[in-house]
Every structure is written in C-alpha cells, then in structure tokens.
Structure 1
Amino acid sequence: MMVNYLVEWIPSTLRNHPELAIFITLAVGYWIGARRFGSFSLGAVTGTLLTGIVVGQLGIDISDQIKSIFFIMFLFAVGFGVGPQFVRGIASDGLPQALFAVVVCCVILAFVAGAAMIAGYGPGLAAGLLAGSQTISASIGIATDAMARTGMSPEQIADQENLIPVAYAITYIFGTVGTGWILAYLGPKLLRVDIAAECARYEREHSIGAPSGGMGSAWHQHEIRAFRIPAGGRVEGMTLAQAEAAAGERLFIEGVRQHNQVVEPTPGLVLKAGDVVAVSGRRQALVALSNMTEEVEDRALIDIPVEAVDVLVTAKSVDGRQLIELAQEPFARGVYLNSVRRGSAGVEVPILAQTKLHRGDIVRITGTATHTARVVEALGYADRPATITNMVLVGLGICVGGLIGSLILPLHGVPITLGTSGGALIAGIILGWYRTVNPRVGNVPESTLWFMNSVGLNVFIAVVGISAGPTFIAGLQQAGFGIFFAGLFATGMPMVLAPLIGKYIFRFDPAINLGCCGGARTSTASGAMVSEVAKSNVPMLGYTVPYAVSNTLLTLWGLAIVLLLNIGSGG
C-alpha cells in the first residue's frame, strides 16, 4: 500500500513542483557523471542530461525562463574566466596560437555542417551534433536562441529543440574519448615525433640560464638557520645588502640580533662581529655556510612566520618576461615560486628558466610576510581566498552585454544576432580581461565562478533533458544510428588535420603542437592525456590561448550551424 502511494505521490509532486525535479536531476546527474569506467567518466553534463531525459518521462513542464537565466549566467562566467588569455592571444605573442584556434574552429564548423547537410539533418540534429562531437555544451543554448529567429513555427522549433539532446547524447562519448585518443596516441605518429623526447628537448632548451641548482635555487627553497658573525669575518662591517650580494648564492638575511636585541633587518643595517643573523636559502648553501662560520641555536630569531600567497599578475612591467629574469629583480628576494597557473582551467605551466609570465597568470609564492608583500606589489594583486562576489559587476555586466547582444543585424533577410546569452559571453570576456588591468574593479571568487560555470550549465542541461524526455525515444528513432557515424566523422577529421595544420602552416614546436590542438578543441581531457604520454606538462604551454579563443568561437558556432542549415534548406 505504502509503495503504491509513493509511486503515485512522487511523480505527482514533481509535476506540481518542477523545481524539485531539477534538483533531483542535478543530484543524480553529478553522481553518475563522477562514476569512472576505467579511465573514462561521463562528466556532470552528460550525467545530468541522461538523468533529465529519464526524469522527463514523467511529463514535467518547466518554464524556459529558468534555463535562460542559468545559461546566461554560465556564459558570463565562461567569458570572465577566459578573458585574459583571449585578449592576450589577439593582442600579443599568443597571436599565432589564436589564429590557429580560429582556423581549427572553422575546420570543425565545415566538417560538422558538411556531415549534417550530407545526412539531411535539420538545425536541431546539427546543433546536437556540434555540441556532442566537440563537447561544447554551451553551443546548445546559442543554437536554441537562434532557432527562435529562423521563421520556423513554434511547433517546428519545439521539434528541433527536442532533437538536440538526442544527437548530443549519442555523439558526446566519442567526442570526449576519441579526441584524447587521436591527439595523445595518433598525434605523435602524424607529426612523426617522439613526443616525450621532444618535451625533454624543449625543457633543456628553455632551461638555459638556470642556475646549477635549478629554478628552485633562483626562486629559493625556504629554510632558515641562525649564524654568528665572527670577528674579522668576511661580512663584518658590511651592510645587510652588501653581505647578501657577496654570498655568491641566493642567501637572504631575514633577522638580526644585536646586543641581545632583535632589530629590523633593513638593507642599510651594518653587521658587526658577534651579531646573530637568521639566514634563509637552499639547504645545501646553508650547510656549506655552517662549515665556514658558527651556527647557533636561536629559536626566537628564526621563528619567522611564513605564508603562501596566490598572486594575480596584472603589472604591465612583468608581462612577457622570463622567470629567470624576474628572479634577479630585487622584489624576488626571499621568496620561493611554487607554481604558475594559467587560464580558466587553471593549467599549471612548467617552471623553466625561459618560461614567460603573462597578465592573468596566478603565481603561488612562499616567504615571510615582508617578502611576499613586496612581490605582490611588483606583480599585481594578492588573490587571497574571498567569499564575497561583486554582484554589481556581475549584474551590470550580464545586463549590458545582453542588451548589446540582442541587437539584430538583418543579412539578406536573415536576422543575425548574438542573442542575450552571446552578449553576456562577450561582456564576460571584456570584464575578465579588464580585471587583469584593474583588479579592484571587482572580484568574482573561484568558488562563485565554479558555481556559475558548473551549476549554471547543468541547470540549463537538466531543463533541456527534462523537456525533451517525453519525445526522446521518438527522436532517437528519427535520428537513426547514422548520427553516431556522423559524430565519428565530425570529431575525428578535424583532430587528424589539426596537428598537421600546426606543423606545416603555423610551424609550432612539436612539444606544444598537440597542446595547441587540445586547446583549440577545448578538450582539457585530451591535453591531460597528451601530457601523460609526453611525461611532461610542456604541451600545456600551448593550451591556454587556443582554449580561450575556441571556447568563445565554438560556443558561437551554435548560431552559425543553425543559420547554415536554415540557409542550406532554403529557410
């Protein structure tokens, strides 16, 4: 009796309260998406879509406004995240990689549109084919907006929209797995290179100028010991700055005790016999120093608080400069460089002597509060954990961008428009870049960006799946098994051509070529697979700029594919 009651009550409640259907779809979708099958997982988006299709069998009606709100929030967050790399790629030394991304995106559009036209697909199946074969879920919302302006009847639009998740679900798995396999395993054969050897060669060439102890001795490892200055010793009578310069090694005096009093270690402080100094540097250098002078126990002097700080690089003066060059600057005194992260995906780039720092990078440093404060002032802005989002920035950015995006440009009778969602994407790019110039314009913490990115997209996908649920089986029958082969073609051919385009047209270094290809396909998984095969993260140096450009273009291709299919059909 109770079971029968629940079987009737739960579906009825979900129909009356569709918001609950969305949340159960998210919960189950994220859970399914996180399950691993060997090295493969569906991911939250596909898990949510499939769950939404199942839940949608209950016939739940959800307002389209819900998916529009969350989708526009998602696109703004995407733009905000990729903004710095997008602008750098267009305006500076990333230009070849940006142009490469544009070429690859055009190749992708040509193959997707060609496959759709040959198979006789309408805009719905074509948009799903694009989104699934290229794993660019964001294009679904743009395509949906575009179909509303094609002149089709509301019934035709609804039919086409219901076909999008069908094509997406069928083509997504090879879109993910196939891209990674082609780039990681077939890519080196296409380029005729040993990718591991090429990355090792790249690391050697870009380590020229590094000290014998490696880059860890340029941005020194942090260890502190106390030493007494002997009478007649080499540094007696020198200032603190002179003593550090005379060390012949990156050693730093962090504290000084004179006459049993701890004094401020200013550069002009004169060192005297009997003074006790707290010295930081590499362990090997400190051991060598202990063999030349007396090491003493002075816990109070060496008990100097050390902090780790993430610094958002915004200073124009350091943009494009090499790490080994920056390590020689006075501001680098006494700090250790832990990592350099780049792009909205937080890609870690290798710390090599000739690795360049760019605006928008986040560097993690360790040192005393005095030293880290000096580095923060020189590089940009302390990106300390924050919990408050500047909603004035987010709200106005989305609104103004949406207003501009909603402008319509008639072209041969076809209304061309980015739509409010496309406008929000562009607004996010502009504001994301501007924050690297003026970080005080407002902050959107990483946790908020994650929410807007992941939850924003998946609420949209949940509504798409739930709405398409009742007609999914019929759509599957209409699409036929041929959509799977169309997906193989649309995924595989551009990724076979991309490494060759990078090699013969753009002349990319073999070590970063496949990373550029992964970025141009916005496939973080494939980039990780290439790095695993290469036994190095050097390929990721080519990932971020193409990723930023392609993430924008492939999203906007949702509009392009609908227009191409509509024009091609004489609509």
Structure 2
Amino acid sequence: MNIIQNLFAISPYIALFITLALGYLIGKITIGRFVLGGVAGTLLMGVLIGQFGVQIDPGVKTIFFALFIYAVGYQGGPQFFGALNFKTINILLSAVVMTVTGLITVLVAAKLFSLDSGTAAGLAAGGLTQSAIIGTAGDAIAKLGGVTEEAKSLMQTNVAVGYAVTYIFGSLGPILMVSWLIPTFMKWDIREEALKLADEMSDGKPELAPGEFNAMTDLVSRAYKLSPESKLIGRDIQAVNADLLDVAIEMISRDGHSVEIDKSVRLQAGDILVVTGRRQAIAGHVESAHSEEVALPEGTVLIEENRQLVANDNQLIGKSLAQIKAETNLDTYRGIYVTDVIRGGHSQHITADFVVKKDDIIQLTGSAKDINRIEKNIGKRLVSVFSTDYVLFGLGMVAGLLIGLINFKIAGIPVTIGSGAGCLISGLFVGWLRSRKPNMGSLPLGASNFLRDFGLAVFVGVVGLQAGPQAIDMVKENGLTLLFLGVAVTIIPQIISFFISYYVLKIKNPIEALACVAGGRSANPGFAALLEKAGNATPVFAFTVTYAIANVLLTLWGPIIVGIISTQ
C-alpha cells in the first residue's frame, strides 16, 4: 500500500488516469435496464482511489471543466439562440421551483434534527452541489452578532463537514435521477427522445448515430441513351449544361468509347449520357429529353468534388441560383451544379428561384478544374471542417474565464458568475457565430466531442479524488444521519421539481424536462451523464437557462440559511 501511496505522491496524474480507466470500465456494467455510466463510475472510483491521499492541483479541475462546458456551449449555440422564445419562461420557473424546494428541504431538515447554521449550510452546499454556498455562508457566519468567535469558528468548520459528507451523493444523485430513475419511471428512452428532439430542431433531418448513414443519398449518377427524337441532339454539351441547375451531364459514351468533353462536342442519337445530380432533379430533366435509362458501362469511373463556398461577392448577393449560375458557370465543359445551400447551419430547399444571402454556404459539385474556374466569382472556400480555428478558440476561452471573474451583489450578498458559467456563455456565442459566419471559429465535431468528453472525465475524476478522504472521515465522525439528510436534500427537490415542471409548467419534452432537473440544481455531473445518454446537444438549451438561474439563487441561500436558523 505504501508503494502505491508513494507512487501517487510522486505522480498524482497516474491516479487520475487509473480513475478514468476503471471508472469508465465499471460504468459499462449493466444490470437490467440500469447502466451506471462512465461519469458516475469515475466519480465512485475517484472516491475509492482518493483514500490514498492523492493531491492534485485544484486548477486542473477548473480548466478541464471550463473546456468541457465551452465545448458543450459551442455545440449547442445555434440551437440555443434559435430556441429562445416565450417557452423560456416556463424553464426559468422550473429553476426557481427547484432552488426554492431545495432551500425549504434544508430548513425543514435543520429544524427536525436541530442542526446549527454551519451544518445546515454545509448540507445545502453538498446536497445541492453548490460550492459557492460555503463561501457565502461562511461570510454570513462571520458577521453574526452576539456569537463568540469560538462558536463562529465551529460553525464555519461544520459548513465544510456538512459539505464533505453530502457532496458525493449530491453529485451522484442527479446522475441517477436524470439518466436512470426518472426515465425508467416515465418509460422514456433518452437516446430515442434526444433523436426525436434533434429531428424537430433540424427541420426533419434525422441525426445519425456513429456508423449510421443515409442510404438514400441525394447525389446520384445515372446513364441515359438518347433517342433520335431527343431535343438535345445537335446541341453542344456546354449549352446543354448551361440550362441545368442541380444536375449536369458529366460524361458521354459513344460507340462504346468515352468522348473527351470540350466546346466542340455535339450530342448525337445513341449517345449514352452520364448525368449526375440530385436524385429528384435528374428524373425530371431526363424525361423531358426523350431518352431511356441504361446501365452504367462496367468499370465507369467519374471523379468529382464537393466544394463549399461562402457567398460573399456583393454582386451575387440577392440574386437567384439560376442568375448566379448564368453569370458564373461560363467556360465549364462538364458543368457545375448546386447540391446544397446551408443557411444558419440548416440546409435549404434548392430551386432556381432561391435567393442567396450573404454568408450562405453554397455547395458546388463537379470536376475540380471546372470549380476552380468559377470559385473566385462566388466567394471564399469554406475552411476545412477538419481544422480548428485556434485564434477564436483561444479568445473564446479567455472571454469565458474573464466573464467568470465578474462579481456583483444582490441584497448585499456577493455573487460571482464563475468560470463554468462564463465559458458556457462564450461557447454558446462562438458556436452561434460559427453558424452565421462559417469561416470563423471552426472547431471540428471530433475535436469538440473530445474536449467535451475528456474535459468532463478529468473534472469528475478530480472531484472524486479530492472529496473521497474527507467524506469518509466525516461519516465516521458524525455517523450516518448527516449522510441520509444529504440524500434527502439531493432527491426530494428533484422529484418535486420534476413533477411540477412536467405537469404544471407543461415542460413535456423528456429531454428538456430532464435537463431542467440537472440545471435547476447546477448539477454538472448530472448534466454530463444526460449528455452521455442523449448522444447529442439537445439538453443544452434547457440546462443552460436553468443553470444560470440556479447558480445565482443557490449562492444566495447560504446567508439566508444562516440568517433564518440563527434567529430561531
């Protein structure tokens, strides 16, 4: 045992990564419908391994939580600002219900079990997982009148005791509630409900799970043989392609041989045309050309490129796609066609009359040579979806940490926003900015998922390692009463708040209802577990709104608890 303890003292990060590995390993254990999950598993393993007295700089927890919450905000930014409406009022009220219920539960427990102000405040800080209560309650105790300095010191110590004993279940309880107990009771499949909500938020386009793909691809290539009656016979290929918007003739086979396409090539009866474009568009164009579909010649290879351009040429803004193609698609032989238009992060329905706005993303498909000829006439190429804009990423993190330093007073009580809330705000803004200005703030999905998942894993692991030793010692000293009170303070407000939110406030969407439970008590691990189960960013909006309110109100409860109990 001494060898392990010495090893962890020399390199505490070994303990951290062991915690992560074992935590996610036991998180895979399934009992019936219950799966513990990597977040809860890591927290529990952190408590156990923390018994070796692992000392890790608290700044590690802070920075990795900031990375986690920034990535969450970045991914949910476009949906968050798009979802702001009157429904937000009910979500705000849900947070108020949760925090007020938590306050009442703590006061009732203090009354029934004769807790002093310090222990009650610690119970609130740990059971409701709001560490800021420790500071605000400690300040309030220091200002109590008619109390000896020795008594004040004892009460301030009891704040830490109550927090240490109740914090572990305060963190674990919301994980179990939002990822297992409530969904099981309500018979909800979190992943299925998250996909439904994502489908609603993405205009009916389903979100694909890892490994899934849409077999009904929009872009197809089909071969047609021209009949003698076709109106295309005698026309040159460039003129024919100039009339097409979302399809193009990309290859001609004549007498069994591929014809090199240039301006002099004119179509003949019996030619086999390889037409590429959007599935629905091809059928309409070909039927009007009096041709019959034939099998593609065996071994046919057609290399094309999808290239996304950001519309920023002022001469094209406000014009239709048909006008843009007529003005830009000159001197192209095989033809360029439009396969997607993205505005505000959402694909648009393509028609000849569709009017392009500034910063729309126009996806062109065709040969690389032909796209090169017209690219400069439309706008800048969209930066690679695989590269990170470290400039805006760094500035976003700086902005979040600076926002977190902001503090103010409410009724004389100091309130600090905190780095978590600050980075969430900056992440939301940068994610939204990316959807509006596509060439700014790139953070690839793989990179943002890694920041989110790894940042969370390290945060939860450090929480467990730090809280473990103190919590076990305090349970031994104070018995199980305080621990059970912590369980009550953790569970009761969540149950009451959920039913009021669902049945009274009419927050009927399962993902939003669960996110309100996690956000209403600023339960970051609980929210992380919900994200893990959901598999997408759909819980972000409801959590963000309730999290902001809960951070302020729960911080205020420290002095209120001290004031009420000290006057009894």
**TM-score, normalization by structure 1:** 0.66
Return closer, same or farther for 1:366/1:568 CA change in 2, 3 Å cut-off: farther
Asked if 1 retains the 8 angstrom alpha-carbon contact of 2:337 and 2:366, the reply is no
Q: Does 1:226 align with 2:223?
A: yes
Q: Does 1:430 align with 2:442?
A: no
Asked if 1 retains the 8 angstrom alpha-carbon contact of 2:122 and 2:160, the reply is no
Instruction: Structure 2: state its 5+ residue gaps.
Output: 111-118, 143-152, 206-213, 313-319, 330-335, 350-356, 519-526
Instruction: Structure 1: state its 5+ residue gaps.
Output: 1-6, 132-139, 188-194, 208-215, 316-324, 344-348, 352-358, 532-539
Which residue pairs with 1:177 in the alignment? 180
Tell me which amino acid in the other structure corresponds to 1:114.
I
Tell me which amino acid in the other structure corresponds to 1:68.
T
Tell me which amino acid in the other structure corresponds to 2:249.
I
Which residue pairs with 1:37 in the alignment? 31
Q: Which moved more, 1:425-434 or 1:469-478?
A: 469-478
Compute the displacement of 1:414 (Å). 1.0
Asked if 2 retains the 8 angstrom alpha-carbon contact of 1:54 and 1:469, the reply is yes
- The 5 A counterparts of 1:165-564 are 165-170=168-173, 172-184=175-187, 221-236=218-233, 253-256=249-252, 261-263=259-261, 271-280=267-276, 282=279, 293=292, 295=294, 298=297, 302-305=300-303, 335=339, 384-386=384-386, 388-475=387-474, 477-501=480-504, 503=506, 513-521=509-517, 544=538, 547-554=540-547, 557-564=550-557
Asked if 2 retains the 8 angstrom alpha-carbon contact of 1:220 and 1:336, the reply is no
Asked if 2 retains the 8 angstrom alpha-carbon contact of 1:175 and 1:487, the reply is no
Q: Distance in 2 between matches of 1:64 and 1:530?
A: 29
Q: Distance in 1 between matches of 2:263 and 2:269?
A: 16
- The 5 A counterparts of 1:137-148 are none
Compute the displacement of 1:25 (Å). 1.3
Q: Distance in 2 between matches of 1:378 and 1:145?
A: 57
Which residue pairs with 1:58 in the alignment? 52
Q: Deviations over 1:61-114 (max 9, x none)?
A: 333222222223333223222222222223xxxx14434432333333333333
Q: Does 1:109 align with 2:109?
A: no
Q: SS of 2:435's equivalent?
A: helix
Return closer, same or farther for 1:257/1:64 CA change in 2, 3 Å cut-off: same
For 2:17, which of 23, 28, 52 is the aligned residue?
23
Compute the displacement of 1:462 (Å). 2.0
Return closer, same or farther for 1:59/1:182 CA change in 2, 3 Å cut-off: same
Q: Deviations over 1:399-453 (max 9, x none)?
A: 3332333232123321122133332322222222222222333323333323332
Q: Which moved more, 1:480-489 or 1:15-24?
A: 480-489
Asked if 2 retains the 8 angstrom alpha-carbon contact of 1:236 and 1:273, the reply is yes
Structure in which a larger fraction of residues adopt helix = 1
Asked if 1 retains the 8 angstrom alpha-carbon contact of 2:497 and 2:517, the reply is no
Return closer, same or farther for 1:176/1:80 CA change in 2, 3 Å cut-off: same
Q: Which moved more, 1:46-55 or 1:140-149?
A: 140-149
Asked if 2 retains the 8 angstrom alpha-carbon contact of 1:499 and 1:517, the reply is yes
Q: SS of 1:570's equivalent?
A: helix
Which residue pairs with 1:159 in the alignment? 161
Return closer, same or farther for 1:378/1:160 CA change in 2, 3 Å cut-off: farther
Tell me which amino acid in the other structure corresponds to 1:255.
M
Tell me which amino acid in the other structure corresponds to 1:562.
T
Q: Deviations over 1:492-512 (max 9, x none)?
A: 333323333465xx8xxx8xx
Tell me which amino acid in the other structure corresponds to 2:560.
I
Tell me which amino acid in the other structure corresponds to 1:71.
F
Tell me which amino acid in the other structure corresponds to 1:499.
Y
Compute the displacement of 1:54 (Å). 0.5
Return closer, same or farther for 1:83/1:230 CA change in 2, 3 Å cut-off: same
Compute the displacement of 1:9 (Å). 0.8
Q: Deviations over 1:272-311 (max 9, x none)?
A: 434431024659959x9799537365457x52236789x8
Number of corresponding residues: 486
Return closer, same or farther for 1:493/1:365 CA change in 2, 3 Å cut-off: farther
Q: Distance in 1 between matches of 2:380 and 2:504?
A: 37
Query: In terms of Rg, which structure is larger?
Result: 2
Asked if 1 retains the 8 angstrom alpha-carbon contact of 2:401 and 2:422, the reply is yes
Compute the displacement of 1:29 (Å). 1.4
- The 5 A counterparts of 1:84-123 are 84-90=78-84, 95-120=85-110, 122-123=120-121
Asked if 1 retains the 8 angstrom alpha-carbon contact of 2:404 and 2:416, the reply is yes
Q: Distance in 2 between matches of 1:519 and 1:144?
A: 25
Tell me which amino acid in the other structure corresponds to 1:109.
T
Compute the displacement of 1:206 (Å). 8.2
Q: Which moved more, 1:7-16 or 1:519-528?
A: 519-528
Tell me which amino acid in the other structure corresponds to 2:123.
L
Q: SS of 1:517's equivalent?
A: helix
Asked if 1 retains the 8 angstrom alpha-carbon contact of 2:169 and 2:486, the reply is no
Compute the displacement of 1:127 (Å). 4.3
Q: Distance in 1 between matches of 2:337 and 2:61?
A: 51
Q: Distance in 1 between matches of 2:295 and 2:305?
A: 25
